[in-house]
Amino acid sequence: MESSSTLFFLCDLQTRFRPVIYEFEHVVASTNKVLKVAKILGCEVVVTTQKAKVLGPTDPAVNLDSLGSLHVATCDKTLFSMLTTEVETILKDRPAVKFVVLMGIESHICILQTALALIAHPAKYITYVLADAVSSANPAEIPIALAQMRAAGVIVTTSESLAFQLIRDASAPEFKAFSNVIKEEKDATAKAVETLLGRAGLERSAL
């Protein structure tokens, strides 16, 4: 896995869903950590919203502005999968992309359908889902969705594990900045993993 061939997908993390999504704030915290890592390593990020005219924009707590040009686009959709015509064009324009990493909501709907579409795509994208950066309104849905994705060939992992897969080497020139992010986010990471993976039963059922 290399940063130059990795694209991050952030799915429908909109303010309107904040009151109903299980531990929404921890999903945002994990997402923001990943965005910091993406910026350090130069990974691009594609964002979607679900019917933004009705459901509003991406939650302002998600620090997309920090990405600059690495924030490729925010694409509105009605499709549950993120693979809209617009997103398909973004992928087509980036033939070097081999790995796609999914974050956002909901685990058993848009994340699941996106993951399955990526696995079935002619380009055969190697697809990762970050278990501490996804959630659903009903937490009992999450481990079932992750199990289905794993059975289909999706790699279910955590934000910190994936981040270290991308940096690969402590001698990398970006490692100091990377290490600072990991240290700064240590407490938030522990809370997100404990809450989203532990209390929802994910560590037993899906990981």
Active site amino acids: 12, 77, 110
Question: How many other β-carbons are positioned within 10 Å of the β-carbon of residue 198?
Answer: 11
User: Is residue 141 reached through a cis peptide bond, with omega within 30 degrees of 0 on the bond before it?
Assistant: no
* Cα–Cα distance, 53 to 161 (Å, whole number): 36
The answer to whether 119 and 150 are in contact (CB under 8 A) is no
Long-range Cβ pairs for the range 161-170 (8 Å, 24+): 162/34, 162/101, 162/128, 162/130, 163/33, 163/34, 163/37, 165/1, 166/1, 166/2, 166/3, 166/6, 166/37, 166/41, 166/43, 167/37, 167/41, 168/1, 168/2
Question: How many other β-carbons are positioned within 10 Å of the β-carbon of residue 77?
Answer: 20
